[in-house]
Amino acid sequence: MQITKKHIVIVGATSGIAEQCARIWSQEPTLLLTLVGRDKDKTQALADDLAVRNPAAEIKVVTTDFLSPKEIAHSVEMICAITPVAIALIAHGSLPDQQQCQQDLELNQHTLEVNGISPVLFAEAFATQMEKVQQGTLALIGSVAGDRGRKSNYVYGAAKGLVTRYAQGLQHRFAHTPIKVVLIKPGPTATAMTAHLPQRGLASAATVAAVIVQGIARGKPVIYAPPKWAVIMMIIRHLPAFIFNKLDI
């Protein structure tokens, strides 16, 4: 009897959190793991590392233009044609300096596109394919920064706020179907993206990834990683403006 492999796709696979998720998932016994990246060499290097960790896993590498709607649609269609996707994790992003975004409108635009527009285009492409087969879990990495605009990172936060609203819409769309949509909100995490920030208090990528993988397995609609950020952001969201505006955050 032929064993059907579980097909997991990670978009932005070489990002710090995504790589740790890949390492966890790569230990599953019957796995087809598709890694989607912009840099072919870096993505292939990750695939080779995972293959050493679990020689039984089948690992594919796909590179595409993350800002081209046509390329995104084509790549996702090709990926899903291999075999239906059980889990699609959309994990890419960048964290530029807020002050530079205020002074450089091209950087501002790029930040919004990479962190907001691109993830939702991938989400819509996967949603279309999952709807055809009526199965799959679509997981999007947003951020706690998307919960309330703050002066320290409001361009990045606005992009992640877009991801939040989009994920909520998809959850509503698929509420009465077998398709699950999971919105992930990591707090500050020690990755290459945050290397320019003070590292004290940042969660490790491995810790955040473990929370994400477990939450996806349970089909949780929203995952704060680490979980303490659910409480922290609930307080920040509900602070009255006259108090919030006095805070240097």
Residue 1's pLDDT is 39
1 is a domain residue: no
Instruction: Pick the closest to residue 224 from 92, 15, 193, 233 (CA basis).
Output: 233
CA distances from 14 to 18, 21, 104 (A): 6, 10, 27
Provide the domain limits for residue 154. 6-244
174 is a domain residue: yes
Minimum mean pLDDT range among 39-43, 191-195, 215-219: 191-195
Q: How many domains does one find in the chain?
A: 1
CATH number at residue 223: 3.40.50.720
206 is a domain residue: yes
70 is a domain residue: yes
Q: pLDDT tens, 107-161?
A: 999 999 999 999 999 999 999 999 999 999 999 999 999 999 999 999 999 999 9
Residue 29's pLDDT is 84
Supply the pTM of this predicted model: 0.94
Residue 195's pLDDT is 60
**Mean pLDDT taken over the chain:** 94
129 is a domain residue: yes
249 is a domain residue: no
* Backbone torsions φ then ψ of 138, nearest 5 degrees: -110, 115
Minimum mean pLDDT range among 53-57, 115-119, 185-189, 193-197: 193-197
Average pLDDT over residues 74-95: 96
Residue 198's pLDDT is 65
